[in-house]
Amino acid sequence: NVEVTLRAKRLARTREGQRQHAPLQIRLHLDDTRLATQLEDYPKFFEDYDGVETSFFNVDERSARLLFAEHAMDIYADALDAPRVHLVLVGVGPLQEQVLLHALRLAHFADGAAPRVTLLGVGAQQALDAFVLAHPGATEVGEIDCIEMVAGEAELETWLPAHGLADATAW
């Protein structure tokens, strides 16, 4: 995506005389949100605002942001008369990582307690270890634990209470 963007910018510069009224707009998807932040400071992407406008996005990050914007986790905890938010994330991957990150960033819920997040899935501990390595201090702003789940386990409604997760306020 980065290489395509640079080539599109070069092409736009060579056709400046033929350019229409509005600049070319490039919306660049990057899986690594930290790389996007670094590239925002890279002059090659932003040296010719008139010809090309470049911006970055990440589908998983936007999905997590939308989840928390539309579903306030503390409301569910309050409706269930739970002492705090307990979010269970089923599966591991980029989306779950972004949801965990947003849960920790928004840890200051109305109840004043930091959230509890349980990662549930195949490779959950490995995913948590990688997350904590990438986000030092994550375990200081929320309680994060994980449960390894056997691949193919499907009956979550019966599986969660049997594994001590009956107090979950959101899945």
Q: What is the pLDDT of residue 45?
A: 61
pLDDT tens-digit readout, 89-115: 988 999 999 999 999 988 667 667 788
> Averaged over 49-70, what is the pLDDT?
84
Q: φ and ψ at 136, to 5 degrees? A: -60, 140
Q: What is the pLDDT of residue 131?
A: 93
Q: φ and ψ at 90, to 5 degrees? A: -95, 120
**pLDDT beyond 60 at 37:** yes
Tell me the average pLDDT of the chain: 81
pLDDT tens-digit readout, 107-157: 667 667 788 999 988 899 999 999 999 889 898 888 999 988 776 656 667
Task: Tell me which residue has tokens 């056709």.
Answer: 15
pTM comes to: 0.75
Q: Which of 5, 24, 170, 1 is nearest to 88 (CA)?
A: 170
Q: Looking at residue 115, what DSSP letter applies?
A: P
Distance from C-alpha of 59 to C-alpha of 10, rounded to nearest angstrom: 26
> Averaged over 44-73, what is the pLDDT?
80
